Structure 1
Amino acid sequence: MSSGGGSGPPRAAALPTAKTLSPVARRRLGKELDEWLSAEPPVPGMSVSATERLDLWMVMVTGAENTVFANEEYVLRFSFPADYPIEPPEVIFVHPTPRHPHVYTNGHICLNVLYDGWSPALTVTSVCLSILSMLSSATAKGQPPDNDAYVRNCHGRSPKATRWMFHDDKV
């Protein structure tokens, strides 16, 4: 995909959206995407794949060295609401998901900054750093204890529709 005469990635401002983003959301996401498409992405081990829509990003994640997820590759899907950054993005792991006590097999992530702990001051970069930190702090691989019941009862709903209980900050 090209943004005209150049051969580099498209500038964020030129990308279409499937839903109507507010002017604030378009400006903010354009600035954040330009940062991610620069020669040196802001989070080591993560990159944004070529995106066709400003409101939907796919972020490639590589597990950090010396962790249980070292060199494993995963994909996060960021879906931005029309009123981003007032409302948080929906962030899920695309299958296959990491076997982590805070990541459900349907890709939903139990992480406070994605829900109750969201602040408009947070960015894609800060969310990615939180997710990378969560993965890196795991001492063993495993599913959440309620994975099967949660996935069965979720019925394709957004993780933002879940009333999360944040009772464990260790893995």
Structure 2
Amino acid sequence: MSLVRSLARRYSYRGEQLDDLVQIGSIGLIKAIDRFDLSRGVELTTYATPNIIGEIKRHFRDRGWAVRVPRGLQELNVQLSKLVEGLTVQLGRSPTIPELAKAAGVEEEEVLEALESGRAYSSLSLSQGGGSDDGEDLDPLESLGEVEHQYEVSEDRAVLAPGFKVLDERERRIL
């Protein structure tokens, strides 16, 4: 049982009670004992460790989501989080849903489903948004693809600059 307790201690920072993790790890130990084959020449602890860790990880995977979300959507959500970061830097603004869909190689509807499924995760996460300066929670779906005002102003100035050069001083002041 000390093996189970030491392995469970590694995962106790995830918000579960250590005793609960020890119980879950014990299930993994029991399964390992049932399947252990002494004739293979492997120690029980060597064989049991991955089984115990696997049972604990399975617990977090299955119970970490408030609503059961298909694994494919969970993985797409993680992929989209990384893509949002990269595209934001590359584009200088938040990417739109069509841009994310193209970058991920999936349909827009799948992107929307995956982003919405991320909200079903029960633990706090950066992908669920955060508080703004005025204390309100920000929804990442509301800010995704949003045109940033300062970017729009800069773009307008860049487009209009050649036209301003041909105007005389009076016309420029009027505009």
TM-score above 0.5? no
TM bracket (short chain) = under 0.3
Q: Give the TM-score of the pair, scaled to structure 2.
A: 0.23
More strand by share: 1
Q: Give the TM-score of the pair, scaled to structure 1.
A: 0.23
- Mark the structure with the bigger radius of gyration: 2
